[in-house]
Amino acid sequence: MAGFLSRMRLITVKMPEIYVEGLDELVKVGRYSSRSEVIRVAIRDLLKKELWMVDNED
């Protein structure tokens, strides 16, 4: 896993302020260590779900 994480790329994303506030709240209450971690987990889960669904539709 460490090798995978060491190959991370920096991207810029625009999102509504309400989403940013939600990210900050998750960090504030200690669920995640940073906004980046929240976003990585959310994208990972979305990709697992969406790619899994596509694979099973064949």
State residue 57's pLDDT score.
61
Q: End-to-end distance of the chain based on CA atoms, in angstroms?
A: 29
- Please tell me the pTM assigned to this model: 0.76
State how far the Cα of 3 lies from the Cα of 31, in Å rounded to an integer. Answer: 24
State residue 4's pLDDT score.
62
- What is the 8-class DSSP label of residue 8? -
What are the structural domain ranges in the chain? Answer: 14-56
Burial class (CB in 10 A: 0-12, 13-18, 19+), 37: middle
The answer to whether 24 touches 35, Cβ cutoff 8 Å, is yes
State residue 17's pLDDT score.
99
State residue 3's pLDDT score.
62
The single-letter code of the amino acid at 15 is M
What are the 10-residue block averages of pLDDT along the chain, 58 residues in total?
73 98 99 97 93 68
